[in-house]
Amino acid sequence: SQVACGGLHTWVLCKDGKLFSRGCNDEGQLGRQGDTWSLQEVTGLPSDVVASQVACGSNYTWVLCDDGRLFSCGHNQFGQLGHSNTYYSSSFTLEEVDVSGLDGAMPSQVACGNGHTWVLCKGGRLFSCGDNGYGQLGRTGNKRLLQEVECPDGAVALQVACGGKHTCVLCEGGRLFSCG
């Protein structure tokens, strides 16, 4: 039902929620061990969740599940995985994202850039983490944990998209905001 591509890796989400990945795995972006150029199933999610969206950054991956839980794997130099650790690391398995900063908001979309991640929640709230070298997080503060981003003039976000080092947010009324 969906395909997502990163720098040198690809993930496929099937209608039944199964996940498959292929490509370069030097930072763990495939969510499993080993490089492969053929699709292989990723089995790292808990049995009680079903994947509903996958997003790939340059060498990392996020998975949104139907219950709103978030998982990520791969390169974490800038905190783009949303894990609470404060050191450089890579994760070769899907790890649950620390969502304490979401304050109960329910994720509905994830977007990944080279080294930054944005999460759009139901009701239009936005959160970001990762590299902020060009202002692509749309905020200041802790880069390693998801923290809220305020849209200008109280606008309600409908969709978020990340480029390499920038982010665009489409809001109600056709307004578009960007940063980075």
Q: Which domains are present in the chain?
A: 2-179 (2.130.10.30)
Q: Residue 92 has what pLDDT?
A: 85
Mean pLDDT over 133-138 rounds to 97
28-75 confidence digits (pLDDT tens): 999 998 888 899 999 989 999 999 999 999 999 999 999 999 999 999
Cβ contact 56:112 at 8 Å: yes
Q: Tell me the C-alpha distance between 122 and 93, whole Å.
A: 27
Q: Tell me the C-alpha distance between 179 and 158, whole Å.
A: 16
Mean pLDDT over 170-178 rounds to 97
Q: Residue 88 has what pLDDT?
A: 59
Mean pLDDT over 141-147 rounds to 87
71-94 confidence digits (pLDDT tens): 999 999 999 999 876 555 677 899
Alpha-carbon separation of residue 93 from 2, 31, 32, 60 (angstroms): 20, 5, 5, 11
